[in-house]
Structure 1
Amino acid sequence: MNIIGIIASERKEGNTAFIVNKMLEGAREQGAQTQSFRFSDLNIKPCRGCWACHKSDQGCVIKDDMQKIYDAMEYTDVIILGLPIYMGQMSAQGKIFTDRLFARFSPRFSPYFKENAVKKQMVLSFNQGNPNADLFQPYIDYTNQMFRTLEFNVKEVPVVTDLRNGSIHDREDLCRELKHLGSSLASI
C-alpha cells in the first residue's frame, strides 16, 4: 500500500502538516509506504490554461516540482490532501495543486485519463480556526463533489476545527483519531 500526503500550506510545521503527518504515521504503523509533499518545499507554478496537455501526449508543459507529485500519484493507492481553509475556501496552494490536476485527471478532455482511468483513493482533510464545523460545509461539499467528478474515490473528509485556541499538539483525542484514520487507509 502506497500513500502520499500533500500539504497545501506554506507553513512547514503548521496545523495542516501536523494533521497530514499524523495520518501518514498511522498508515506507516500498519505497514504502508508513505511519502509527503510540502508546498513550502516545492516550486509549483499555477496552471497557464494553455491546453498543451490536451493537444498532445506530452502532459503538462510546465516543468516544475509538480512533476514529482505527478510521478508519485502514478504509483500511489491513496492521496491525503491537506487543505487549510483561508477566506472560506482552500488555500492558494491547494487551488494551484487542484488546477494542475487538469493535465492528468480531466475526464472530459484528458487523453491520459481515458487511457488510465483508475480511480485514486483520496482523503480530503480540511482544517480551520473557527470552532463551527458547519461554517464552510457548502464549500467542503462542493470540493468533495469536484474531486469525485475528476474520478477520485473520496473515502473520508475530516474537518479539524477550533485551531485558533491552543496547540494542536495538545489535543490527544485528535491525534488518536488522525492516526486511526491513517491506519484504516492502509487496508483500503
Structure 2
Amino acid sequence: MNIIGIIASQRKEGNTAFIVNKLLEGAKDQGAKTQSFHFSDLNINPCRGCMACHKGAEGCVIKDDMQKIYEEMEHADAIVLGLPIYMGQMSAQGKIFTDRLFARFSPKFSPFFKEVVTKQKLVLSFNQGNPDASLFKPYMDYTNHMFEILEFDVREVPVVTDLRSGAIDEREDLCMSLKNFGSALVLEEAHKSVS
C-alpha cells in the first residue's frame, strides 16, 4: 500500500506534522510505503480559476510544486491530509491544496465530472488548540462532505484537541492512537485484498 501525507501547515515541525507523521509511522509499521509533503518546503500557488485544466489534455497549467503532488497522488492508495484549524476552518495552505485538486478531481456538480470507479482513500486529520472537540464540528462535517463530493473515500481521524496545553509528543495515548489508526488503514486494505 502506498500512502502520502500532506502537511497543510507552514510549521515544518509543528503539531500537524507530528500528527501526520505518526499516522504514517503506523502505516509503515504494517509494510506501507509512505511519503510526506510539507507546505513549508513547497511552492504551491492558488488556483486561478482559468478552467484550462478541463479544456485540454495538459492538466493544471500552473507549473509549481503541486505537480509533484499530482504525480504521487496517481500512485497513492491513500492520502493523509493534516489540517490545522485556523479561525474556525482549515489553514490557508489546506485551502490552496483543496482548490488545486480541481485539475484532477471534478466535483459531481461540475460539467467535467466523470464517474470514479475506485474511490481513493482520504484520511482527514484536523487539529486545534481549543479543548472542545465539538467546537468546529459543523465545519469539519462540511469538509468531509465536500471531499465525498470529490469522490474520495473519506476516513476521519478523531480531532486532536487542546494543543496549547503542553508538548504533543508527551501525550503517549495520542501517539499510540494515531499509530494504531495508520496501522488499521493498511490492515483493512490487506484484509480486503485477501477476501
Q: Is TM (by shorter chain) over 0.5?
A: yes
Aligned to 2:185: 185
1:146 aligns with 2:170: no
Tell me how far apart the structure 1 counterparts of residues 168 and 8 of structure 2 sit (CA, whole Å). 18
Aligned to 1:163: 163
Shift of 1:114: 2.3
What's the C-alpha RMSD, in Å, of the aligned pairs? 1.3
User: Cα gap change, 1:110/1:44 in structure 2, threshold over 3 Å: closer, same or farther?
Assistant: farther
**Is the partner of 1:186 in helix, strand or coil?**
helix
TM-score, reference length from structure 2 = 0.92
Of all paired residues, the percent bearing the same amino acid is: 74
1:30-41 → structure 2 map (5 Å cutoff): 30-41=30-41
1:14-93 → structure 2 map (5 Å cutoff): 14-93=14-93
Read off the aligned partner of 1:26 and give its amino acid letter. G
Size of the aligned set, in residue pairs, is 187
Read off the aligned partner of 1:114 and give its amino acid letter. K
Shift of 1:115: 7.5
User: Cα gap change, 1:175/1:123 in structure 2, threshold over 3 Å: closer, same or farther?
Assistant: same
**Is the partner of 1:176 in helix, strand or coil?**
helix
Deviations 1:83-128 (A, max 9, x none): 00000000000000000001100144475x6286431101100000
**Is the partner of 1:143 in helix, strand or coil?**
helix
Tell me how far apart the structure 2 counterparts of residues 99 and 122 of structure 1 sit (CA, whole Å). 15
Shift of 1:183: 0.4
**Is the partner of 1:94 in helix, strand or coil?**
helix
Read off the aligned partner of 2:45 and give its amino acid letter. K
- The question of whether the paired residues in 1 share the 8 Å contact of 2:116 and 2:151 is answered with no
Tell me how far apart the structure 2 counterparts of residues 106 and 9 of structure 1 sit (CA, whole Å). 25
TM-score, reference length from structure 1 = 0.96
In structure 1, list runs of 5 or more residues that go unmatched: none
Tell me how far apart the structure 2 counterparts of residues 186 and 38 of structure 1 sit (CA, whole Å). 22
Tell me how far apart the structure 1 counterparts of residues 17 and 181 of structure 2 sit (CA, whole Å). 15
User: Cα gap change, 1:18/1:128 in structure 2, threshold over 3 Å: closer, same or farther?
Assistant: same
Tell me how far apart the structure 1 counterparts of residues 157 and 140 of structure 2 sit (CA, whole Å). 8
**Is 87-96 or 100-109 further displaced after alignment?**
100-109
**Is the partner of 2:5 in helix, strand or coil?**
strand
Aligned to 1:95: 95
- The question of whether the paired residues in 2 share the 8 Å contact of 1:124 and 1:158 is answered with no
- The question of whether the paired residues in 2 share the 8 Å contact of 1:144 and 1:154 is answered with yes
- The question of whether the paired residues in 2 share the 8 Å contact of 1:9 and 1:83 is answered with yes
In structure 2, list runs of 5 or more residues that go unmatched: 190-195
